[in-house]
Amino acid sequence: MRKSKKLVAMGIAGIMAVSALSACSSGGNDTGSTTAAKEAETTTAASGGETKKEAASSGKVKVTVWTNNRHDLEYMNKVVDEFNKKNDHIEVDYVVQTENYENLISMAANSGQSPDLFSQVNPEDFKNFADNGIIQPINDYMTDEFKKVNEVDQHLYEGCNVFGDKIYWVPGGKRSGSRFIYNKEIFDKLGIEVPKKLSDLPAVAKQITEAGAGDYYGIIFPGASGPFERWLEHSAEMSGITAYNYKEGKYDFSGFKPYLETVRQMFSDSSVFPGSASMKIDPVRVQFSEGHVGIHANASQEATVLTEQFPAKIEWGVAQLPTLDGEIKGSEACNPNSGWMMSAFTEHSKEAWEVMEYFQSEEVLKGYLEGGYSLPISKYMEDKIDKTKIGRMADFTGADYEAVLPVAPSVTPEGENYRDALWNACLPEGAAIDDTIAKLNKTYNDALDKEVKMGKTKRLVIKDYDPLHPSAGTVEYLDK
Position 344 contacts another protein (CB under 8 A): no
Among 213, 383, 454, 479, which residue interacts with another protein (rule: CB under 8 A)? 454
Which of 39, 50, 124, 308: binder of another protein (CB under 8 A)?
A: 124
Under rule CB under 8 A, residue 211 binds another protein: no
CB 285, CB 310: distance < 8 Å: yes
Buried b (16+ CB within 10 A) or exposed e, 427-459: beebeebeebbebbbebbbebbeebbeeeebbb
Q: Are 181 and 297 in contact (CB under 8 A)?
A: yes
Q: Binding to another protein (CB under 8 A): which residues in 287-316?
A: 287, 292
For residues 323 and 238, give the distance between their C-alpha atoms in angstroms, rounded to a whole number: 6
What is the smallest separation between the CB atom of 162 and another protein, expressed in angstroms?
19
416 part of the interface to another protein, by CB under 8 A: yes
- Is residue 113 within the footprint of another protein (CB under 8 A)? no
Of the ranges 223-231, 252-260, 317-325, 372-380, which one interacts with another protein (CB under 8 A)? Answer: 223-231
Q: Is 406 in the site for another protein (CB under 8 A)?
A: no
Task: Assess contact for 47 and 104: CB atoms under 8 A.
Answer: no
- What backbone torsions phi and psi does residue 372 show, to the nearest 5 degrees? 80, 20
- Cβ burial of 475 (10 Å; 0-12, 13-18, 19+) is middle
43 part of the interface to another protein, by CB under 8 A = no
Q: Kindly state the smallest distance separating residue 420's Cβ from another protein, in Å.
A: 6
Report the distance separating Cα 68 and Cα 134, nearest Å. 17
Does residue 25 touch another protein according to CB under 8 A? no
The verdict on 47 binding another protein (CB under 8 A) reads no
Among 207, 309, 320, 410, interactor with another protein by CB under 8 A: 410
Residues 252-281, interacting with another protein (CB under 8 A): 273-279
Under rule CB under 8 A, residue 6 binds another protein: yes
CA distances (Å), origin 430, targets 38, 198, 259, 266: 50, 21, 14, 14
- Contact between 161 and another protein (CB under 8 A)? no
Asked if residue 436 lies in contact with residue 389, where contact means CB atoms within 8 angstroms, the answer is no
From 10-18, 85-93, 152-160, 199-207, give the range in contact with another protein by CB under 8 A: 10-18
Count of C-beta atoms within a 10 Å radius of residue 340 = 25
Residues recorded for the chain: 480
Distances from the Cα of 130 to the Cαs of 122, 134, 151, 161, 452, in angstroms?
A: 12, 6, 22, 10, 18
Using CB under 8 A, which of the segments 144-152, 198-206, 237-245, 423-431 binds another protein? 423-431
Give the nearer residue to another protein in terms of CB position, either 131 or 145: 131
Report the residue number, 207 or 417, with the smaller CB distance to another protein: 417
Neighbours of 97 (CB within 10 A): 21
17 touches another protein by CB under 8 A: yes
If binding is defined by CB under 8 A, does position 239 make contact with another protein? no
Residue range at the interface with another protein (CB under 8 A); choices 14-22, 253-261, 353-361, 373-381: 14-22
Helix axes 433-454, 257-268, angle to 10 degrees: 140
Task: Please say which residue, 16 or 46, places its beta carbon nearer to another protein.
Answer: 16
Cα 433 from Cα 439, distance rounded (Å): 10
Q: Using CB under 8 A as the criterion, what x/- string covers residues 163-202 for binding another protein?
A: ----------------------------------------
Least distance between another protein and beta carbon 81 (Å): 31
Question: Rounded to an integer, what distance in angstroms lies between the CA atom of residue 460 and that of residue 245?
Answer: 9
Question: Where along the sequence are the contacts to another protein (CB under 8 A)?
Answer: 6, 9-10, 13, 16-17, 20, 100, 103, 106, 122, 124, 128, 131-132, 223-226, 229, 273-279, 283, 287, 292, 410-412, 414-417, 419-420, 424, 427, 429-431, 454, 456
